Amino acid sequence: VVTCKCTSFPFSLLCLQVIKCKAAVMWEANKPFSIEEVEVAPPKAREVRIKIVATGICRSDDHVITGALVMPFPIILGHEAAGIVESVGQGVTSVKPGDKVIPLFVPQCGECKSCLSSKGNLCSKNDIGSAAGLMPDGTTRFTCKGKAIHHFIGTSTFTEYTVVHETAVAKIDSAAPLEKVCLIGCGFSTGYGAAVCTAKVEPGSTCAVFGLGGVGLSVVMGCKASGASRIIAIDINKDKFAKAKELGATDCVNPKDFKKPIHEVLIEMTGQGVDYSFEVIGRTETMAAALACCQYNYGVSVIVGVPPAAQKITFDPMLLFSGRTWKGSVFGGWKSKDSVPKLVADYMQKKFVLDPLITHTLPFTKINEGFDLLRTGK
């Protein structure tokens, strides 16, 4: 930060400089990340520039690479991170340089209908639906080799420095370990919240969780914290069952072990189906199966995994007519700016654990190896 005293004005202007740093740029779909030197512009009014200390990788990032989630290229992906505020633009009041923060891919403007309603959390200022890949003013803060680089859902954390809008950043406990609480930026909060916030799982309930990645395991943790008496974990990778049981699963089921559809297996296991089911994969087939395995009259099924682009679901409407509820959950239903600091505080008070969700820690330059581990289920 350079303070310039300009003789033509009776006050000091704060002149922020462009930062050159490393970033993992995705130039086009289905190609590896390229570690590049990028230029990160100073934050404009109500914007915050953050030094990223730790970032997780998420299946949603991989969906962009494969085209399942359509975004403009070139782009800097990443949305699950924690860092330290480097500088702020004019008018920023909620954070200051030196604060530990978590970027928010679901912002909280506090003014739109969803923010003002107790029923919702998907702020209208989000860039998930429009996929513009730009800051709210319609421009980008990233440049590489003379080319403008797109942002990813308002966060872009696969870079040493990023710029976000003030509505998309939460100040957290200064003692929080950033290499762990970065998971609260997406994976943990999304899964845990789907159970405790979106579904509102009740004590004694029976739950089914489809998919045992980091988000699915967080759903298991949320179901256990809510007092579920039976938590059935479903995955085609049996290597994930031990961790699921460690975090609260009572049963583990591999659909490959059965000749009949998995929803029929679950109905037989539970009598009339589960009280709550969660699809945490992002496949239309498992979304339909998760709905069908619910109790026919009052079962609730929650879609947590990002749906693939340009795909539709065909299902028997009687599944809903009989009384089931089908819900979606973005970021676990949490109002981000309000809830993330509280979730970090709960972690610091040991109300939940994060360590079991961290399988590998790699240097930033090995991000492609990290995605290989993700794709092989490791």
Q: What is the pLDDT of residues 227-241, one digit of tens each?
A: 999 999 999 999 999
CB 254 within 8 A of CB 231: no
151 in catalytic set: no
Res 140 pLDDT > 50: yes
55/177 same-domain check: yes
pLDDT at 309 (0 to 100): 79
Same domain, 262 and 150: no
Tokens, residue 94: 């909620």
Residue of 79, 150, 151, 263 with catalytic role: 79
Sign of CA dihedral 65, 66, 67, 73: positive
Q: Are 256 and 142 found together in one domain?
A: no
What value does the mean pLDDT take over residues 307-325?
90
138 and 32 within one domain: yes
Is the pLDDT at 259 greater than 60, yes or no?
A: yes
Catalytic one of 4, 6, 12, 63: 63
Are 352 and 285 members of one domain?
no
Per-residue confidence (pLDDT) for residue 308, from 0 to 100: 81
- pLDDT > 90 in the chain, percent: 91
Q: What are phi and psi of 366, to 5 degrees?
A: -100, 30
Calculate the CA dihedral of residues 60, 63, 69, 74 and round it to 10 degrees. 100
pLDDT for 13 equals 38
Residue 15: the pLDDT is 60
Residue 240 C-beta-side C-alpha neighbours within 13 Å: 25
Give the pLDDT band of residue 306 (cuts 50, 70, 90): confident
Report CA Rg, the chain. 21
pLDDT of residue 130: 82
Q: Does the annotation count 144 as an active-site position?
A: no
Decide: 234 and 251 in contact? Cβ < 8 Å.
Answer: no
Residue 107 phi/psi, 5-degree rounding, is -70, 175
Identify whether residues 87 and 179 lie together within a single domain: yes
Phi first, then psi: give them for residue 58, nearest 5 degrees. -135, 150
State the pLDDT at residue 10: 35
38 and 181 belong to one structural domain: yes
Pairing of strands 230-234, 251-253: parallel
**DSSP 3-state assignment of 182?**
helix
160-176 average pLDDT score: 98
What are the percentages of helix, strand and coil residues in the chain, rounded to 5?
Answer: 30, 25, 45
**Total-model pTM:** 0.94
Is residue 164 a contact partner of residue 48, using CB atoms and an 8 Å limit? yes
CA distance 84 to 63: 28
Residue 60 annotated among the catalytic residues of the structure = yes
Q: What is the pLDDT of residue 182?
A: 98
Mean pLDDT of the chain: 94
11 has pLDDT over 90: no
Per-residue pLDDT averaged across 5-30, rounded? 72
CA dist., res. 86 & res. 96, Å (int): 8
Q: Give CA–CA dist 322/299, Å, rounded.
A: 10
- Annotated catalytic residue, options 109, 123, 182, 186: 186
Q: Is residue 5 part of a domain?
A: no
Same domain, 153 and 296: no
The pLDDT, as a whole number, for residue 243 is 97
Residue 27: CB atoms within 10 A of its CB come to 16
Mean local confidence (pLDDT), 167-179: 98
Q: Which of 60, 87, 189, 301 is catalytic?
A: 60
Q: List the domain range (segments joined by +) for residue 348.
A: 19-187+334-376
Residue 58 in domain: yes
- Residue 29 is assigned to a structural domain of this protein: yes
